[in-house]
Structure 1
Amino acid sequence: MPNPPPLPGHDNSFWMETSDTTSYPPLVEDITVDVAVVGGGIAGLSTAWELIRAGRTVAVLEARRIAAGVSGHTTAKVSALHTLVYDRLRRTRGPDAARLYARSQQEAVERVATTVTELGIACDFERAAAFTYVTDPAACAGIEAEARAAAEAGLPATYVRRTGLPFAVGGAVRVEDQAQFHPRRYLLALAEDFRRRGGLVFEGTRITGLSEGDHCRVTAGSGRTVTARDVVVATHYPVFDRALLFTRLAPHRELAVAAPLPAGHDPGGMFITEQEGKRSVRTAPMDGGGRLLIVTGESFTPGTGDTRERFRRLDAWMRKRFPVGDTAYRWAAQDNHSTDTVPLVGAFHPGSRHTYVATGFGGWGMSGGVMAGRLLTGLITGDAPPWAGLYDPRRLRSALRGAPAMLREQAKIARHFVEDRLRAASADSVARIPPGTGAVVRVGGRPCAVHRDAAGTVRAVSARCTHLGCLVAFNAAETTWECPCHGSRFGVDGAVLQGPAVRPLEEVDVSGAEDSGSGAPAPPP
């Protein structure tokens, strides 16, 4: 089999490449604080920072490195314009809900702006207009409706037919006074200010257990514990299933490519369309001068389809429409969409007294994470903002309105559960897996996720996701195993890269199958 052509660009996020690394210690002893925040992305760090300013003692517990997961691989738009959310909210939850959503998100934009000034953060913070556009004139009615709904909700929104994009649009919503920034530089500065105020940050500390009560306790994989009156679970996808939030969340992965843009060709704003598999466009200043064009899109469910082809398609779209130089970077990010559109931020489940969650930001985690930090701090300190009910995970009416989407998502997961066990394996033997690729092979009736590196060395792990048992699939572009049911991601060694799974895939010895060339599909166990 011929080797596929190399993918465009350097395999790393621009934000990760152009910011400092972190080296906070792991948790090595039992501690007690007022609040334990599980997760060191923008939602977790914003919450911790707001809480310590409110006089609480706080510990942040991050499984890998802070601001290096979704927050380190975002498009980094800080905006209250979230594609077509306002017309949808107005129709499903009423105009008051749309106004509360707009107010909470725009206040998050302003919170970032004031924090940048207050702390003197050099994070390339820039004000810019945000646009949601369509190229098909037949879709303009929806855009006009969104512009009206966003304006009625209180945003400085207008309907326009021209933008700074180098191609024609059918119509667009334009919202002024939005922002973009370097998310890693912002968050690392926030973490350092949090630490200077007495906050504790622990990296390399994966939390695997939660005990609730008047005094909660979270337990790390090492066995060390943190006792706290309140616990915030801000792990992107909740790592505990007791609230059954996984029935109301749908994971989506998106790709990004970035290339230098010649002077005079900056489109002058932030742009997004849900057409063409989603396309999002912005620019960022480069350290050596000039602008970097960042294009995001190709939204898909993790563990499905050919990610390499999606990268090439996205890169081709960028090159067709913009006079860019050589592609400099490529990366991917993942987010979770709630089935009723609105993020889930608040009490973890109906019986919660001291546990809270922040999830389901639907691709808008920069403003959403900052909003969550303020909301959760208000709930914990007894000063909840007026929009707390809008985001409450315990909401029933909106959950019922989102039932059709929830049922579709659960039906998709059920299909994966059944079809993955009945279908043939993705390779008919271990011996036939080419170098640099991976495949699921049944060895002795057991599904094994087998990867062969460029040197020919084989590594195999169980193909059953440790979250709820779906079978993983290989992502050749990122050299990872991904679960199509709830979005857990694993390295080829089985290590957890992204939850909700908290346990690694079990290593499997397939040397016998490799030597004999066996490992053909067997009847499902």
Structure 2
Amino acid sequence: MKRISDKRISDSGQSYWRETASLPSFPSLTEAAGADAVVIGAGIAGLATAWELTRAGLDVVVLEAGRLAGGVTGHTTGKLTALHTSVYHTLRTEHGDDAARQYASSQSTALRRVIEVADELGISCDLERRPALTYSRRAEDIAALRAEAEAARAAGLAASFVTETGLPFPVAGAVRVEDQAQFHPLAYLSGLVDAIVARGGRIHEGTRVVDLDRGDPCRLTTDTGAVVSARHVVVATHHPVFDHALLATRLTQHRDLVIAGPVPAPQDPEGMYITEEEGKRSVRTAPLPDGRRLLIVTGEAFRPGTGEDTEAGYARLREWTERYFPDVTITHRWAAQDNSATDTLPFIGRMPTAGENVYVATGFAGWGMTGGVMAASVIATLVRGEREPWTDLYAPSRLGSALRSAPTLLKDQWETGKHFVKDRLETFGDGTGGPVRDLRPGEGTVVRGKGGPCAVHRDDRGGLHAVSAVCTHLGCLVAFNNAERTWECPCHGSRFGVDGAVLQGPALTPLEPRDAEEW
């Protein structure tokens, strides 16, 4: 039985989940291998899929570029709910009542699946049943909240419109759905990993897949030089690598800041709350070993790579939290990145133009805990030659919803194109002083050098680190995130360390090094 570590909370810069769950380590893949199925990515979507496939008797290999759950899953808020802000009124309006019912049923089934698996495998993961609420403090939003409550109820959820909540401030109204859940996501995945390995599954960390040769079998080439052959390939990398269907053009990126710290148990608002006000605010708690509750507040959503003052965002989030929860002691802060499909629905199933045996799971819009588990079931049934009732709803090849979302798609692509062109026309320093000379420790800037745009960071000791500012995915220029000290691409959300290393795709190769002495 996997249990959560009683490690004392400290301000380590990691998410609380990563600090308090013991995930095993696995070696890189260094020699050729074969399997029935290869899963690329070891977040909740990838590991849940690997579990479903191994449970069905398939020989499975999981390949992870970094560490297990080192991406979005390791930085989530850990909500298991079918109430996704205001999705049901949108689905009902844009896709019809049947689509809304299928969405609610698929997400609720995924929630129950987590509970069933945790019970079956004896995983201790702080699983708690709680209501989920979408709220607003603005009177002008009451009509929209009532419409969402009615749409969610029509879709099959136990939803109602309420005006009273457990929050420490009044609200104009809220949509409340009963009997949802929250958990420790990495404690859950730790138990899932043990079960995958016990059934013969093979997991390799530090192994980035850099090429996919579609066929039967498919051949995957890794950055370690190893080649893997498999009949089935599942791409569960958050933003899809090997995007033959150009799904990236139908995905938008956003990044949320998170702060957390203990509060006395009586201050627990006893629910999972979210609002789009003030750049988003999401609130939940988790149990602590000493009887207190860990308050987790998320918000200040922004598009990566746009040069947002991330430190200022953290300051606003902290001020809001301390205003309404004055007894909180902030101990952690982290950030999470999500992508959303322009037509609201995730992309789950066979990847168009990639053949019958390549599958993708992406576009969870911040709801990847239920979305990832649901994706695992959809893909596993397809691999077995079967179908879920909602397979067509999430199919990446869907056309009707793509046409309906064309205005949103065009707007997003305009933003991407604007960055691509503007970045090349913008005036930079000439590399002889200018902005680089003025950089303070911890800051970064993009300047024009002899070899083209250059991303320069000054570390805490005053040393300069220079890499190409051109994203290795499609060539947009990166911008500096001053809180996380990373370079981020505004076009498709790739993230790099100050040394150029890939932290988050879709980029597969690092930013090229530049001579720091030039500056």
TM-score bracket for this pair, using the shorter chain length: over 0.9
Range with bigger deviation, 487-496 or 239-248? 239-248
1:441 maps to 2:447: yes
Which residue of structure 2 lines up, in the alignment, with residue 462 of structure 1?
468
1:322 maps to 2:362: no
SS of corresponding position for 1:68: coil
In the TM superposition, 1:61-460 aligns within 5 A as 61-304=63-306, 305-350=308-353, 352-425=355-428, 428-444=434-450, 446-460=452-466
Range with bigger deviation, 449-458 or 336-345? 449-458
Deviation at 1:87, TM superposition (A): 0.8
SS of corresponding position for 2:203: strand
Distance of 1:340 and 1:213 partners within structure 2:
30
Q: Which among 499, 507, 517 is matched to residue 493 of structure 1?
A: 499
SS of corresponding position for 1:264: helix
Cα-Cα RMSD = 1.3
Deviation at 1:445, TM superposition (A): 5.8
Distance of 2:494 and 2:127 partners within structure 1:
32
SS of corresponding position for 1:447: strand
Range with bigger deviation, 140-149 or 350-359? 350-359
Q: Is the 8 A contact 2:244 2:353 kept in 1?
A: no
Distance of 1:233 and 1:124 partners within structure 2:
29
Equivalent pairs counted in the alignment come to 506
Distance of 1:445 and 1:429 partners within structure 2:
17
SS of corresponding position for 2:434: coil
SS of corresponding position for 1:111: helix
Distance of 2:404 and 2:13 partners within structure 1:
41
| Compared CA separation, residues 409 and 362, structure 1 to 2 (3 A) | same
Which residue of structure 2 lines up, in the alignment, with residue 522 of structure 1?
none
SS of corresponding position for 1:11: coil
Distance of 1:263 and 1:235 partners within structure 2:
37
Deviation at 1:480, TM superposition (A): 0.6
Q: Is the 8 A contact 1:257 1:295 kept in 2?
A: yes
- Write the deviation string for residues 246-282 of structure 1: whole angstroms up to 9, x where unpaired: 1000010000011211231110000001111011000
Distance of 1:86 and 1:267 partners within structure 2:
25
Distance of 2:327 and 2:191 partners within structure 1:
31
Deviation at 1:488, TM superposition (A): 0.3
Distance of 1:325 and 1:132 partners within structure 2:
23
- Write the deviation string for residues 6-64 of structure 1: whole angstroms up to 9, x where unpaired: xx954221111111143101111111100000000000000000011111111110000
Distance of 1:425 and 1:258 partners within structure 2:
38
- Partner amino acid, structure 1, of 2:173: G
- Partner amino acid, structure 2, of 1:334: Q
- Write the deviation string for residues 91-133 of structure 1: whole angstroms up to 9, x where unpaired: 1111011000000000000000111111111110000000011
Q: Is the 8 A contact 1:262 1:323 kept in 2?
A: no
SS of corresponding position for 1:276: helix
Which residue of structure 1 lines up, in the alignment, with residue 516 of structure 2?
510
Q: Which among 480, 488, 495 is matched to residue 482 of structure 1?
A: 488
Q: Is the 8 A contact 2:214 2:354 kept in 1?
A: no
Distance of 1:482 and 1:351 partners within structure 2:
28
Q: Is the 8 A contact 2:23 2:186 kept in 1?
A: no
- Write the deviation string for residues 339-368 of structure 1: whole angstroms up to 9, x where unpaired: 000000011114521100000000000000
- Partner amino acid, structure 2, of 1:424: T
- Structure 1 runs not aligned, ≥5 long: 1-7, 515-525
Q: Is the 8 A contact 2:265 2:291 kept in 1?
A: no
Distance of 1:389 and 1:405 partners within structure 2:
22
Deviation at 1:428, TM superposition (A): 2.7
Distance of 2:344 and 2:459 partners within structure 1:
41
Which residue of structure 2 lines up, in the alignment, with residue 523 of structure 1?
none
Q: Is the 8 A contact 1:213 1:353 kept in 2?
A: no
Q: Is the 8 A contact 1:257 1:296 kept in 2?
A: yes
Distance of 2:466 and 2:290 partners within structure 1:
43
Matched-pair identity in %: 57
Deviation at 1:290, TM superposition (A): 0.8
- Partner amino acid, structure 1, of 2:256: E
SS of corresponding position for 1:26: coil
TM-score (norm 2): 0.96
Which residue of structure 2 lines up, in the alignment, with residue 3 of structure 1?
none
TM-score (norm 1): 0.95
Distance of 1:215 and 1:351 partners within structure 2:
13
SS of corresponding position for 2:180: strand
Deviation at 1:430, TM superposition (A): 3.0
- Partner amino acid, structure 2, of 1:147: A
